[in-house]
């Protein structure tokens, strides 16, 4: 069984030229997105990887890359895949970072390995690189998922601001589809701000809600009921013609809720309810 | 036995719940309150629950019942100072207390009671002045 001494020797003695060949190989590859990464950065990543690989081969087994001695290599691959996920590389581009090392490495094996051991050596190196390739793909996937999760979180926080319109009047402009989780956040935010501002009227504007189904309507009714329990009246505004039709066709009953077509109408009603009046002081120009 | 005090303020009764409501206490309050409404001839009841952190379906139902009973005795009920978490819980339990009026704090609740009492008296005065109308 090959013990990796040949691979170790190759990586140690021929490091400079191997790096040159490998970098050239990667750049020559037609699929490399030259617009996303500079040659210097690529060369730096490659050099770091070769150095880490040399260390790991010298210290650990070639059977599995899960051991502690492979930790630096794994960390390096994770950081490479993370940066590539952010730069917008495709998964195969990222995996090719490892797989493109095969060509220059196999060429050297053919030169240096004794013919009777060439097959074994090639197999060892190949399976090692395959494992590393799978690892980088997996961590690429993971970093993409992290990006998605973070965006979802940001969306959740961004999309539910409660704004103070006037003394005693708050409004929440809803944007995007309402699901149970979002309704919960909206409800908590709105009720919290009602207490904070001592608001007696809350406006829920659904201009940015693309569709209203029975579930969304149910969520809206719940929010209105909760606000009412705390002593604030709710006005739902921004109901588009199609939405109004859908609500009626679905048989949703909104009879205890004040509804207005536009936010402006709702603000007017809210101001009147809190004892203000809106008047034009200068003639229309 | 533990009791929630009922305070008389003019023509209204004021109840502030500052301890954890358990079932027996809620029923006791219901008894006491109906009795006091009749005895004092109260026209309004204000229940402040701003220190109530936890509410269950039973307490929610008792609050609704108190409001309904008061209305029968010609007194209006206002529940004030409900915490957001309590409001969400009640709504999730399907108890939106339909007959109960609500206000953000005791001050607003008192204004609400006073306003509806004034309105009622105004209507009575108008009726007296113009019995045919």
- The beta-carbon neighbor of B104 closest among A192, A225, A231 is A231
Where b means 16+ CB within 10 Å and e means fewer, A196-209 reads ebebbbbbbbbeeb
SS3 assignment for B32-82? HHHHHHHHHCCCEEEEECCCCCCCCHHHHHHHHHHHHHHHHCCCEEEEECC
Q: Which residue of B has its CA nearest to A193?
A: B84
**Per-residue pLDDT reduced to its tens digit, B106-122:** 999 999 999 988 998 88
Predicted pLDDT at A31:
64
Strand, coil or helix: A36: coil
What average pLDDT score do residues B98-113 get? Answer: 90
Distance of CA B9 to the CA centre of its chain: 13
- Residue segments in chain A with a per-residue pLDDT below the cut of 70: 1-4, 30-34, 158-159
Evaluate whether A47 touches A80 at the Cβ level (below 8 Å): no
Predicted pLDDT at A159:
64
Whether B115 has its CB under 8 Å from any CB of chain A: the answer is: no
Q: Which residue of B has its CA nearest to A196?
A: B104
Predicted pLDDT at A40:
85
What average pLDDT score do residues B97-107 get? Answer: 88
Please give the structure tokens belonging to residue A260: 């207005």
Where b means 16+ CB within 10 Å and e means fewer, A122-147 reads bebbeebbebbbebbbebbeebbeee
**Per-residue pLDDT reduced to its tens digit, A156-184:** 776 678 899 999 999 999 888 777 778 88
- The beta-carbon neighbor of A222 closest among B84, B91, B104 is B91
**Per-residue pLDDT reduced to its tens digit, B85-97:** 999 999 988 888 8
Q: Token match 């060892």: residue?
A: A124
Interatomic CA distance for residues A52 and A88, integer angstroms:
25
Interatomic CA distance for residues A267 and A68, integer angstroms:
64
Q: At what angle do helices A180-197 and A214-229 cross, to 10 degrees?
A: 20
Predicted pLDDT at A1:
43
Evaluate whether A121 touches A113 at the Cβ level (below 8 Å): yes
Interatomic CA distance for residues A180 and A192, integer angstroms:
18
Interatomic CA distance for residues A220 and A113, integer angstroms:
73
Interatomic CA distance for residues B49 and B86, integer angstroms:
10
| Minimal CA separation from A96 to chain B, in Å | 52
User: A–B: how many Cβ contacts below 8 A?
Assistant: 54
Task: Spell out which residues of chain B touch residue A191, defining contact as CB-CB under 8 Å.
Answer: 84, 87-88
More confident residue, B49 or A34: B49
Which residues are CB-neighbours of A90 under 8 A, at least 6 positions away?
none
**Per-residue pLDDT reduced to its tens digit, B3-44:** 899 999 989 999 999 888 888 999 999 999 999 999 999 999
Strand, coil or helix: B7: strand
Would you list the DSSP string of A136-176?
HHHHHHHHHHHHHHHHHHHHHHHT---EEEETTEEEEEEES
Strands B6-9 and A258-259: unpaired
Please give the structure tokens belonging to residue B12: 């209204």
Interatomic CA distance for residues A32 and B57, integer angstroms:
63
The helix (run of H) or strand (run of E) holding residue A234 is strand A233-237
Q: Taking CB atoms and an 8 Å limit, are B104 and A191 in contact across chains?
A: no
Strand, coil or helix: B97: coil
User: What count of Cα atoms within 13 Å lies in the side-chain half-sphere of residue A6?
Assistant: 21
The pLDDT-based confidence of B49 (bands split at 50, 70, 90) is very high
């Amino acid at each position: 069984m090959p013990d990796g001494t040949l691979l170790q020797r190759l990586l140690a003695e021929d490091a400079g030229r191997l790096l040159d060949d490998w970098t050239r190989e990667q750049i020559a590859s037609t699929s490399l997105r030259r617009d996303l990464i500079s040659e210097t950065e690529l060369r730096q990543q490659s050099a770091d990887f070769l150095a880490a690989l040399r260390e790991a081969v010298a210290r650990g087994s070639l059977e599995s890359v899960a051991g502690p001695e492979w930790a630096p290599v794994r960390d390096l691959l994770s950081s490479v895949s993370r940066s590539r996920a952010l730069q917008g590389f495709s998964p195969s581009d990222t995996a090719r970072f490892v797989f493109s090392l095969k060509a220059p490495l196999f060429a050297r094996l053919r030169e240096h390995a004794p013919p009777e051991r060439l097959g074994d050596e090639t197999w060892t190196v190949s399976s090692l690189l395959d494992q590393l390739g799978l690892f980088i793909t997996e961590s690429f996937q993971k970093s993409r998922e992290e990006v998605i999760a973070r965006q979802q979180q940001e969306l959740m926080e961004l999309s539910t601001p409660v704004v103070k319109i006037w003394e005693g009047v708050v409004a929440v402009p809803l944007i995007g589809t309402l699901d149970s989780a979002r309704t919960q956040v909206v409800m908590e935010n709105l009720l919290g701000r009602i207490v904070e501002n001592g608001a007696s009227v809350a406006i829920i504007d659904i201009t940015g809600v693309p569709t209203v189904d029975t579930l969304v309507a149910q969520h809206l009714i719940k929010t209105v009921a909760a606000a009412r329990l705390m002593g604030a009246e709710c006005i739902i505004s921004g109901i588009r013609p199609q939405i109004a039709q859908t609500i009626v066709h679905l048989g949703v009953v909104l009879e205890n809720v004040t509804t207005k077509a536009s936010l402006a109408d709702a603000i007017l009603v809210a101001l009147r309810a809190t004892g203000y009046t809106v008047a034009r002081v200068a003639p229309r120009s | 036995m533990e009791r929630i005090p009922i305070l008389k303020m003019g023509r209204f009764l004021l109840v502030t719940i500052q301890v954890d409501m358990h079932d027996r206490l809620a029923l006791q309050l219901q008894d006491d309150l109906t009795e006091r409404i009749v005895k004092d001839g109260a026209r309004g009841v204000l229940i402040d629950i701003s220190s109530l952190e936890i509410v269950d379906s039973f307490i929610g139902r008792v609050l609704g019942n108190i409001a309904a009973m008061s209305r029968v005795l010609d007194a209006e009920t206002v529940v004030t100072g409900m915490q957001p978490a309590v409001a969400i819980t009640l709504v999730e339990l399907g108890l939106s207390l339909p007959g109960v009026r609500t206000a953000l704090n005791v001050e607003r609740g008192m204004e609400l009671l006073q306003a509806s009492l004034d309105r009622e008296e105004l209507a009575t005065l108008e009726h007296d002045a113009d019995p045919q109308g």
